Structure 1
Amino acid sequence: MSRIVGTIRARIPQTIVMSLFLAALIYLAMTTDIRWSSEGATAPPPAATVEAVQNPMSGHEELPSEGRFEQVAETDTLVLRVDPGSGHFMVTDKRSGNLWHSYPNPEHWKDETIGGIWKDHLRSPVMIQTLDFTRHNARPELTNWISANGAIRDYEPIEGGVRLTYAFTDVQVSIPVEIRIRDDYIETKIVNERIQEAKNGLLSVRLFPFFGAEHSVGQDGYLFIPDGSGAIMNFSKSSRNKMNLYKEPIYGPDFAYRTDESSRHMVRMPVFGMKSGDNGFLSIVEGGEEYADIVASPAGVYSLYNWIGTEMRYRSPFEQVTNRHRETSYLAYDEERRFGSDRVVRYYVLTGEQSTYAGMASRYRQYLMEEQGYERIVPEQRSIPLQVSLIGGDREEGLFMDAYVPMTTSSQAMEIVNTLYGMGVERMSINLLGWQKDGFTSFGDVLPVDSRLGGNEGVRHFVDFAHSLGFPVSYGVNYVLNNSGAHGFSSRHSAMRDMSGTIMNFEDWYENDLPMASLRFVERYFDEDLREISKLGFDGVTFGHGYGYGGGLGQWLISDFNTRYGSSRSEAMALQAQFYRQAAERFSTVNASYSAQYVNAYADHIFGMVDDYSYDLFSNRAVPFMQIALHGLLTYSSRYVNDRGEYQEQFLRDLEYGALPSFAFTHEPTHRMNDSYSLRMFSTQYEDWAEKAVQQYQAYNEAQRDLQDRFIVNHRSLANDVFETTYENGTRIVVNYGSAPYAVGTRHVEARGYLIVKGSER
């Protein structure tokens, strides 16, 4: 498995550390209010001199008294009430009458068995983790607003809600928060610039971690987590895994810091949710999501409640090396820098059919269209396009030097496309994968096209040929790695560096280290590259080549501590979105590979969209949340059809999830790539697949040609191994993964088969 590797070296000399420590002690003696401002943020203003409201939650184990809540705001859909003493809130859904609490459902509190500090965790509006920077061997400490002798300060009304500060008296940390309602959602915000710290630095915050938490009492309920395409954790009396929970960073780990190994799918969308009976909510982490983790626990792990929420990170650990040879180190946190930005979470209140995972995904799609600029696609033709990636070549290790392995030349590419077209593929979208000089694993220079494949001129002729048939052609690029020295790149000056200053590399299957290019270095030549690609007649680019090796823009989100070209995680997210936007302004087609949501607004097609989950013990099954949210806004495909282990099952999954068919072809036999540095595929020679590819295309086309721009409005399980996907025009696609036929009205779905039911056939 490829991975990002690197060692750690010390960032600050020991003498400077000691000087800063002594200075901090002197400053501490002069003032009782020490603060560290976040990167790029202004210093917080002095704390308002408002009398603290006595904590009404101490001295007992009860939840807040509903009689203390005051109405502070109302919309056509919601009513917000807040308790000024505990800082908790309640929201009434006027459509259903359901009452949502920022704390666990009080109806079952008497049955809760957990004790100790977790009892206070459940009752607290805020949990925080801090570190005492004045103690050399201090460890992070988790506490909550009740246990830390908390108080409410600066309580005041604002439009749509209230503003207040949660003061953690014992650890001298204050968290300013805004709570408001708008339309059909509740919005909470941690105001970053007004966070106050003293000797204890803030590491993380869980704000209203038990919003909507429910016991399992036989209701139809589950937690929705953004694992893979989406997964649900059904409510049950107790978890099968007593010591585990779901905790994953949105947009994946930041390899510039110490990260925990995880075999789970990366979180690609900043969402989570819960359904309980006929009510539910969808949460969207709308601000600061790049520094947020999704945390979920089924009943029986840390309480009898099912709960899900966010943990906002403000500092992350890194390895501080203690000797020149980098043989020893200790875990450290950056005292001076706190991750900046406000943290905003929305809770969309759902009822009835809208409370299902399909309803949650539909509400997220509405959000994307209304607030993120997404638009419904307009199909160019009635037939769907077959996504065809044509592999150029790669290098392999030779006796004295690397050898080049050509797999498809320009003229051979014409032969492949012409053959498929003549056999009945009415429409194709073509992607060139690994056509740059010296092959796929030569990173840094996207052009020229390797002369052994026909060079720039040969590719120009191929593009013209494809255009004569009406097929667009995109060019695969990788701007994450640079091992060629192109554009003046040097690892020492232009590569990404982690928190300790160590160069960050991607390790290939032969354990070669491939340097990762700083995004601000790439920014210097990115637009010129696009200009040169467009001169060859290409209709677009494919970031990441359409292949899951070496990453691609939109896949990884990593802080960069290069002193010349560095960027924070927030800036890295903005830069990658900027690159996509620049490509969208120049080309008619922008393709992504395995991408995360922060770039998808500019993508026309996503290669390798995940369609499964991580098979945790507490998760029950995958659901197509991502596909429901995006179908009709862009197109997507899963794994290449000719690179699959479970051929028929994946075909059914594509039909169930609305994915387009995709193939990766070569002209030469597949075995010629067996020793290449990166291109390891099951079977790619087009002659072996042409007839099957045409048959597959026709089956996909029959199912989806009238659905390309149609939204998915429902998805459900009809029986074990039988699922139904419903589109807004009434068409239903039923797939049967089982070994026996399944009846749908007067018709049957054959074992390991599918059925298309048009809207007119109801």
Structure 2
Amino acid sequence: MARRLWPTSKRWQRIAAASSAVVILAAAVIILGWDRQPSLQSMGIRPHSIDLMAVEEGEQWQPPAAGGDGFVDVADNGSFTLKIDPRTSQITVLDKQSGYLWRSNPSKEQLGKETVQGALLANLESPYILEYVSGSQPRRLVKNSIDSKIEISYTLMGDKGIQANYTYPELHLSFVIQYVLTEHGLEARIPSEGIVESGDNKVFAINLLPFFGGVSKAEEPGYLFVPDGPGGLIYYDRKRPANINSYEFPIYGTDMASLKVSNENRGRREEIGYPVFGLKRGEHAFAAIVKDGQFSASIKAALPGQVSSYHTASANFSYREEYGRRVSGVTDQLVITIQKERTQHDRSVEYRLLSGEAADYVGMAHSYREYLEENGMLGSPLPQTDNVPIQLSFLGGGTKPKFGGSDYEPATTFEQAEQIVEELMQQGVTNMRLSYQGWQNSGRYDTDDRFPVVSELGGNEGAKRFIHSMHEKGFTVYFEDYAAWRNSKASSFDIKSDGIRSIDSTVLQFKQGGIRPYIEFIVNPIKIVQAQKEVIDQLKELGVDGIHYIDGPGDELFSDHNEDAPLTRKETAYYYEALLDYTRKELGGVGVYKGFSYSLQHVDFVQSLPYDWSYDMIIDEMVPFYPIVVHGMIEYTAAPANERNVYDKELLRAIEYGAIPFFGLTYEENRVLKDTDYVFIFSSEYDIWKDRIIEEYEKFNQLASVYHQRILDHEKLAEGVYATTYEDGTTVQVDYNRNQFEVTKGGAK
């Protein structure tokens, strides 16, 4: 797989891979015997286990007489009151401090004004929308709680909440939804153990509370929040084209094993990196956190006229995948097929209810950050610093094909990298984070043949001297590595036995072009974890301070449908987290690309945290939700400065979003990379960029005092003018119209 040194666009990575002339015939491929690989137990990694929610089995609740609105009190925790309509199972939650009443569905008065009819109107009255399939038929059918043949009963969950039990006798389908009051609002759950499929009908998906808090047209000021890139807002009062698409995308991106991804559409959008959505209406809002089931959920947002006359945001939980299965090996004809087995995981969404000054995207971000901190999912605060660190990623070199083999073209030897560092120190750049890529013995093409470190750079001894020298200067050195994709022609992993399998049981593979085509595949994460032990051991001997994983942990997630040892996306995340923890334990540090939220508690820095959006027409404005969540806890960069498309604009955005500066560098001219596996690096020569490095370091260094602080507020002051405020009152005002920024420390210049 072709990965760029400083990746910013996965689509470009693939295009570069396809156009690169790099194909190297390995002189000898040593197939690893997995029986000789270290066991997970020897690495202190336990097998993944599943703990499922309990289903309430108590006495059936007999509701007392309902009030005039049809609702009955079922729970009160002092801060919130939960009510339910026994007829429809709709709920309301009263925020007792603000006095605001949240509804799962529009009120009777609102429904009376509805123009939709039939199934759409029935859906509006239901707290869920159930999709199911019947027998071998792939057509998805829909049910809701208003169905005339449904049986609904209730079980109280102590004084915390209530469980609604739904049964469709004719379909031989049943499931339960639990509503529990929390310190912050409401949690809605669908226990896996509560789903019963006793006939041919199978659950395909459940859209949970699809209309919770929904806003009719522009009756109140506000917006929907969706986790697109750093964060996206969908305003209620904006005019849009009539044929605009709704927003519905999977958390952590599409599972490539589902066969819904092709070479053409890979990396075309910013994948959702955190399981949060929200809604603001006037002085009230909620931040909804998808907890259980986030690895098989999509975030949905719709405008009036798309599925109802309301602005809505919700989570849609998938239980089975739909895919195209080949009829035979001699035809490309596909038959739409539904996955047989249901994903056995609980599903839940926590709604954190907000009011007043907290009722906006900043308050939503703070609420999610608090959730992460409460659950130990965000690590420890960053230390104070007098100088902002700058991330410098050195490209050692690349390989180019020649008759009968390949040549390695060095671009930055260890001595040259040290020369760059010393020159920058003389210019006042005193705090650097250093990383190295292209150090492997066979270059990046055969990433399994890593050691000894390539001799053209200085070999193992040169690496040791460089690292020791950097340590004496007070700098850390990470080596960059790969933990997912491999080239089938040059990897010691076997594509058939080690590659993950798609939902149709075939090995997931993508053909790449070039002078000599090759196939890339993803290695089973358990086997990657086992193989990395030797890599980590050898890097430890060199004195390396950590590994920055370019792929796999932090930015990719997939299932493996190998019949002998299947893995869900949740299990893949678990083993990737284990790899990050093991790497950090052995070397001292670890970093990832993009920084999907499941990885945050396990890493020290994130390279290229999402800071751009997917440019969907439904989204009106981009906001720094994710940077607000992580700033002061995890060090992160935006894209490398030498690969910016609009230099000044992207520089200002990195400053506005609280990133640290980042450059990808070579000592030699870029022409040495021609025809190598880094042909897509257009501009990285240090002599060209050194003045910019020094200039940017001085600019970012104005933010050194807030490096460890939380972002307290962010607001739009005018068109193209934004202000980011930190804990001590320091404000960073960015003006995109004038290409300038100003830092006001503690409220005074």
SS at match of 2:559: coil
Does the 8 A contact of 1:660 with 1:700 survive in 2? yes
Q: CA deviation at 1:563?
A: 4.2
Cα offsets for 1:189-243 (capped at 9, x unmatched): 1010120122111110012111110113353210000001110000137643445
Percent sequence identity over aligned pairs: 29
Structure 1 Cα separation of the partners of residues 227 and 731 of structure 2:
25
Does the 8 A contact of 1:397 with 1:677 survive in 2? no
Segments of structure 2 that go 5 or more residues without pairing to the other structure are 1-10, 18-48
Counterpart in the other structure of 2:4: none
Q: CA deviation at 1:172?
A: 2.9
2:431 to 423, 427, 431: 427
The answer to whether the aligner puts 1:405 opposite 2:409 as a matched pair is yes
Q: CA deviation at 1:244?
A: 1.7
Which amino acid is 2:103 matched to?
H
Q: CA deviation at 1:65?
A: 7.7
How many aligned positions are there?
698
Counterpart in the other structure of 1:714: 713
Counterpart in the other structure of 1:61: none
Structure 2 Cα separation of the partners of residues 272 and 398 of structure 1:
52
Does the 8 A contact of 1:227 with 1:266 survive in 2? yes
Counterpart in the other structure of 1:367: 371
* Runs of at least 4 residues off by over 4 Å: 2-5, 39-53, 484-488, 506-509
Structure 1 Cα separation of the partners of residues 291 and 195 of structure 2:
19
Which amino acid is 1:754 matched to?
F
| Aligned counterparts, 1:193-208, within 5 A | 193-197=193-197, 198-208=199-209
Which amino acid is 1:450 matched to?
V
Structure 1 Cα separation of the partners of residues 312 and 386 of structure 2:
45
Per the alignment, do residues 674 and 147 of structure 1 end up closer, same or farther by CA in structure 2, a change over 3 Å counting?
A: farther
SS at match of 2:99: coil
Q: CA deviation at 1:450?
A: 1.1
| Aligned counterparts, 1:142-153, within 5 A | 142-147=142-147, 149-153=149-153
Structure 2 Cα separation of the partners of residues 42 and 283 of structure 1:
21
Cα offsets for 1:386-409 (capped at 9, x unmatched): 100000112234455443222111
Counterpart in the other structure of 2:361: 357
Structure 1 Cα separation of the partners of residues 107 and 388 of structure 2:
48
Q: CA deviation at 1:455?
A: 1.1
Does the 8 A contact of 1:392 with 1:432 survive in 2? yes
Per the alignment, do residues 66 and 662 of structure 1 end up closer, same or farther by CA in structure 2, a change over 3 Å counting?
A: farther
Q: CA deviation at 1:326?
A: 5.2
Does the 8 A contact of 1:444 with 1:484 survive in 2? no
* Greater alpha carbon shift after TM alignment, 582-591 vs 233-242: 233-242
The higher-RCO structure (CA 8 Å, 6+ apart) is: 2
Counterpart in the other structure of 2:43: none
Counterpart in the other structure of 1:283: 288
Does the 8 A contact of 1:613 with 1:621 survive in 2? no
Counterpart in the other structure of 1:558: 558
Which amino acid is 2:97 matched to?
R
Does the 8 A contact of 2:206 with 2:317 survive in 1? yes
Which amino acid is 2:744 matched to?
V
- Aligned alpha-carbon RMSD (Å): 2.7
Does the 8 A contact of 2:655 with 2:700 survive in 1? yes
SS at match of 2:602: coil
Per the alignment, do residues 508 and 667 of structure 1 end up closer, same or farther by CA in structure 2, a change over 3 Å counting?
A: farther
Which amino acid is 1:717 matched to?
K
SS at match of 2:487: coil
Does the 8 A contact of 1:78 with 1:181 survive in 2? yes
1:321 to 321, 326, 338: 326
Structure 2 Cα separation of the partners of residues 290 and 172 of structure 1:
27
Per the alignment, do residues 219 and 599 of structure 1 end up closer, same or farther by CA in structure 2, a change over 3 Å counting?
A: same
1:331 to 333, 336, 344: 336
The answer to whether the aligner puts 1:753 opposite 2:737 as a matched pair is no
SS at match of 1:761: coil
Which amino acid is 2:477 matched to?
V
Counterpart in the other structure of 2:34: none
Counterpart in the other structure of 1:529: 535
Counterpart in the other structure of 2:446: 442
Segments of structure 1 that go 5 or more residues without pairing to the other structure are 6-38, 57-63, 545-550, 739-750
2:400 to 396, 401, 407: 396
Which amino acid is 1:466 matched to?
M
| Aligned counterparts, 1:565-580, within 5 A | 566-580=566-580
Structure 1 Cα separation of the partners of residues 362 and 298 of structure 2:
23
Q: CA deviation at 1:541?
A: 0.9
The answer to whether the aligner puts 1:348 opposite 2:352 as a matched pair is yes
Structure 2 Cα separation of the partners of residues 50 and 379 of structure 1:
54
Does the 8 A contact of 1:69 with 1:83 survive in 2? yes
Counterpart in the other structure of 1:302: 307
Counterpart in the other structure of 1:512: 518
Does the 8 A contact of 2:393 with 2:436 survive in 1? yes
Q: CA deviation at 1:48?
A: 9.5
Counterpart in the other structure of 1:741: none
Structure 2 Cα separation of the partners of residues 347 and 242 of structure 1:
31
Per the alignment, do residues 180 and 676 of structure 1 end up closer, same or farther by CA in structure 2, a change over 3 Å counting?
A: same
Structure 2 Cα separation of the partners of residues 148 and 526 of structure 1:
57
SS at match of 1:592: strand
The answer to whether the aligner puts 1:685 opposite 2:717 as a matched pair is no
The answer to whether the aligner puts 1:120 opposite 2:118 as a matched pair is no
Q: TM-score, normalised by structure 1?
A: 0.87
Counterpart in the other structure of 2:26: none
SS at match of 1:681: coil
Counterpart in the other structure of 1:627: 627
Counterpart in the other structure of 1:78: 80
Counterpart in the other structure of 2:3: none
Structure 2 Cα separation of the partners of residues 41 and 374 of structure 1:
22
Which amino acid is 2:530 matched to?
R
Counterpart in the other structure of 1:723: 722
Which amino acid is 2:369 matched to?
R
SS at match of 1:287: coil
Cα offsets for 1:457-496 (capped at 9, x unmatched): 1111100111111001111010112337899521121111
Does the 8 A contact of 1:394 with 1:678 survive in 2? yes
| Aligned counterparts, 1:150-169, within 5 A | 150-169=150-169
* Greater alpha carbon shift after TM alignment, 459-468 vs 165-174: 165-174
Counterpart in the other structure of 1:476: 480
Q: CA deviation at 1:316?
A: 0.2
Per the alignment, do residues 619 and 105 of structure 1 end up closer, same or farther by CA in structure 2, a change over 3 Å counting?
A: farther
Structure 2 Cα separation of the partners of residues 46 and 683 of structure 1:
62
Structure 1 Cα separation of the partners of residues 162 and 242 of structure 2:
39
Cα offsets for 1:90-127 (capped at 9, x unmatched): 11111211000111355643433222311111111121
The answer to whether the aligner puts 1:387 opposite 2:387 as a matched pair is no
Cα offsets for 1:284-321 (capped at 9, x unmatched): 00111001010110223222210010110000012222
Q: CA deviation at 1:78?
A: 1.2
Counterpart in the other structure of 2:71: 69
Cα offsets for 1:26-57 (capped at 9, x unmatched): xxxxxxxxxxxxx989999999997999xx9x
Per the alignment, do residues 723 and 674 of structure 1 end up closer, same or farther by CA in structure 2, a change over 3 Å counting?
A: farther
Which amino acid is 1:413 matched to?
A
* Greater alpha carbon shift after TM alignment, 721-730 vs 502-511: 502-511
Structure 2 Cα separation of the partners of residues 457 and 233 of structure 1:
55
Which amino acid is 2:127 matched to?
P
SS at match of 1:129: strand
Which amino acid is 1:424 matched to?
G
Counterpart in the other structure of 2:95: 93
Per the alignment, do residues 225 and 509 of structure 1 end up closer, same or farther by CA in structure 2, a change over 3 Å counting?
A: farther
SS at match of 1:104: coil
SS at match of 1:529: helix
Q: CA deviation at 1:385?
A: 0.7
Q: TM-score, normalised by structure 2?
A: 0.88
Counterpart in the other structure of 2:214: 213
Cα offsets for 1:705-758 (capped at 9, x unmatched): 0001110011111111111111111011111111xxxxxxxxxxxx11111112
Structure 2 Cα separation of the partners of residues 444 and 105 of structure 1:
61
Per the alignment, do residues 674 and 689 of structure 1 end up closer, same or farther by CA in structure 2, a change over 3 Å counting?
A: same
Structure 2 Cα separation of the partners of residues 607 and 66 of structure 1:
56
The answer to whether the aligner puts 1:266 opposite 2:271 as a matched pair is yes
Does the 8 A contact of 1:442 with 1:484 survive in 2? no
SS at match of 2:486: coil
Q: CA deviation at 1:515?
A: 2.5
